[in-house]
Amino acid sequence: MEDPDYIRTLINQRAAEDHERREKAKKYDKSPEQIVTEREKHRQLQEKEGYEIC
């Protein structure tokens, strides 16, 4: 079973990404689904280059 602190960290990271996405969507007058966060860009680059995602 996963460590509760690790799970809590993942939940907090996701919440922070969602908040960032909503704020940027509001700023650029777009829907939150159209916004890509910096963390998502980094994740996509890792996938493209074949790195394991942590």
pLDDT of 7: 93
Domain ranges of the chain: 4-49
pLDDT of 47: 85
pLDDT of 39: 78
Report pLDDT digits (tens) over 11-54. Answer: 999 999 899 989 999 998 988 888 887 778 888 888 888 766 55
* DSSP 8-state code for residue 50: T
Full DSSP string of 1-12: ---HHHHHHHHH
